[in-house]
């Protein structure tokens, strides 16, 4: 890394501005070059100061964080990390921000009792560094238009699609789809789920690295946007066709087979490949239980989680897909999976839903 990472801090609280500045500047690689208290000032300071990364609050006077984010992405795109309040409304606004082009988010420490101030500080600094290495995909605006169209689609129509799907799924596929992703993943997953057909005949198990508490709200958002039925996974959920199951934050998920039926197991334990939930845990479980009936997808994210497991799925006869570099916010986990020889197809995000359908 050459030079310091220049950060613009946007928050309507002067105390929060000072706290974030102090936390970030404990790392010699990070320099806060400006602080502002509203979205309109953030847009202006982005033009004037040209920061490398922006931290953005959502609720602010004059111009809110979401509106400011959209202006920044449209005029002078920068990696933006949202500061999220851990409430139902806060989660919904956070996922909307990720649709609009934010790279990542972090919950404010006062809203997540399980996180200490030191843990928050470490997480914030790591997310700033990840955001600095990310790419803002040129296809982001087109992806947003697709997502906006799905958001505008009446819920009644989506629910009708789910009812149709339930009737039409007289024959289900034996295939099980597993998807693993991290930084940049929520928007990518929204794209994939909205592009899968209502008659999709397989279950989809998802590990998205996300804090505890946000996964339930994210599953509900995927359910609202998609014709599939999506939920946060619970221990011993039956694995059903046309349904999506999202790993809860801070818990692993895997498969178990009993009397010819498959179930999801949700459990704790140590972090694997640096994470809980871990993509490797899910993929290793799929390799052992569903074997050649597995279709595994690894998408954007830092690190190597999922690379070992997807190799095992390929060795067991399953099919494997990786999101390509050009459409990844962070080309990390998927890059390692490719380098380890675990991938059959490397495709852009827009082609992933088609490739999944082809394999099932």
Give me the residues paired with residue 9 across strands. Answer: 35, 55
Distance (Å, whole) CA 96 – CA 9: 20
The two structure tokens encoding residue 290: 């569903």
Which strands make up the sheet holding 243-246, listed edge to edge?
A: 229-232, 243-246, 204-208, 176-181, 294-298, 319-323, 345-347
Any residues with CB less than 8 A from the CB of 4 and at least 6 apart, and which?
28, 29, 30, 31
Catalytic pick among 209, 252, 275, 280: 209
Kindly state the tokens that stand for 13.
């609280």
Phi, psi of 75, rounded to the nearest 5 degrees: -105, -50
Closest CA to 195 of 155, 239, 225, 232: 225
305 is an active site residue: yes
User: Annotated catalytic residue: which of 182, 227, 285, 328?
Assistant: 182
Query: Of these residues, 223, 285, 305, 328, which one is catalytic?
Result: 305
Q: Quote the DSSP letter at residue 171.
A: S
- Report the DSSP beta bridge partners of residue 37: none
Cα 320 to Cα 47: distance, rounded to the nearest angstrom? 42
Instruction: Tell me, yes or no, if 275 is annotated catalytic.
Output: no
3-class secondary structure, 132: helix
Measured CA angle at 8 (ends 1, 328), to 5 deg: 55
Residues with active-site annotation: 182, 209, 305
């Amino acid at each position: 890394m050459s030079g310091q990472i220049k950060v613009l801090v946007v928050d309507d609280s002067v105390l929060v501005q000072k706290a974030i500045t102090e936390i970030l500047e404990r790392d010699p690689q990070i320099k806060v070059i400006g602080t502002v208290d509203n979205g309109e000032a953030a847009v202006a300071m982005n033009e004037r100061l040209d920061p490398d990364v922006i931290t953005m609050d959502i609720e602010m006077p004059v111009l809110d964080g979401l509106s400011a984010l959209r202006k920044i992405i449209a005029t002078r795109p920068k990696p933006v990390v949202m500061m999220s309040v851990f409430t139902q409304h806060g989660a919904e606004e956070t996922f909307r921000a990720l649709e609009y082009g934010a790279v990542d988010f972090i919950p404010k420490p006062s809203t997540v009792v399980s996180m200490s101030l030191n843990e928050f500080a470490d997480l914030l600094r790591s997310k700033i560094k990840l955001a600095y290495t990310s790419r803002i995909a040129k296809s982001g605006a087109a992806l947003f238009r697709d997502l906006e169209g799905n958001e505008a689609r009446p819920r009644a129509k989506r629910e009708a699609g789910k009812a149709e799907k339930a009737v039409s799924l007289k024959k289900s596929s034996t295939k099980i789809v597993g998807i693993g992703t991290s930084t940049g993943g929520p928007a990518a997953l929204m794209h994939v789920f909205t592009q899968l057909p209502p008659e999709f005949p397989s279950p989809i198990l998802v590990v998205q690295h996300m804090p505890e508490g946000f996964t339930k709200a994210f599953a509900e958002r995927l359910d609202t946007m998609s014709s599939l039925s999506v939920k946060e996974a619970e221990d011993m959920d039956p694995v059903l066709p046309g349904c999506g199951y999202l790993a809860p934050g801070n818990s692993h998920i895997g498969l178990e087979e009993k009397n010819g039926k498959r179930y999801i197991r949700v459990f704790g334990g140590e972090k694997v490949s640096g994470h809980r939930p871990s993509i490797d845990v899910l993929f290793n479980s799929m390799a052992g239980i569903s074997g050649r009936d597995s279709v595994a997808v690894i998408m954007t994210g830092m690190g190597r989680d999922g690379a070992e497991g997807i190799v095992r799925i390929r060795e067991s006869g399953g099919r494997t897909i990786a999101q390509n570099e050009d459409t990844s916010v962070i080309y990390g986990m998927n890059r390692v999976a490719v380098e380890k020889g675990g991938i059959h197809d490397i495709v852009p995000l827009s082609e992933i839903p088609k490739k999944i359908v082809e394999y099932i």
